[in-house]
């Protein structure tokens, strides 16, 4: 997390810029699959926090994924589902599918992905 002034002069991608051709990214699909949103107000922030973390390290640990989200709040309390979605995206070894995205690298096998449920 950083102040907006820290991004002065740099390229900025918003949540709308994650998709390519209207297709959901694997992380966005995982948010749907794992029921990781209720009202959706917080969802862009969580996606924009998690996607770069997974792009930097497709085998990020649970703690690293949690740390990536540390600046985001969800008033609806979907945190367990958001973490399930992050782990699901990591387990698939999926990365950003944007035009500048690097080819996906295989992710480390994770045995602790949960099924979720409210």
- Binding residues (CB under 6 A) for ligand FES: these are 37-42, 74-76, 78
Measure Cα distances from 96 to 4, 45, 107 in Å: 23, 16, 14
Of residues 15 and 59, the one with the C-beta less far from ligand FES: 15
**Burial per residue of 19-32, b for 16 or more beta-carbon CB atoms within 10 angstroms, e otherwise:** eeeeeebbbbbbbe
- Least distance to ligand FES, CB of residue 38, Å: 4
- Least distance to ligand FES, CB of residue 36, Å: 8
- Least distance to ligand FES, CB of residue 10, Å: 27
């Amino acid at each position: 997390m950083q102040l907006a002034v820290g991004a002065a002069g740099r390229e900025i991608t918003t949540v709308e810029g994650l998709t390519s051709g209207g297709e959901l990214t694997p992380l966005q699909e995982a948010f749907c699959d794992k029921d990781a949103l209720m009202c959706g107000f917080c969802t862009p922030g969580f996606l924009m926090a998690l996607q770069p973390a997974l792009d930097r390290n497709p085998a990020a640990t649970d703690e690293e994924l949690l740390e990536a989200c540390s600046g985001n709040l969800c008033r609806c309390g979907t945190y367990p589902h958001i973490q399930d979605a992050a782990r699901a995206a990591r387990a698939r070894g999926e990365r950003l599918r944007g035009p500048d995205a690097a080819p996906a690298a295989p992710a480390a096998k994770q045995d602790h992905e949960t099924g979720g449920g409210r």
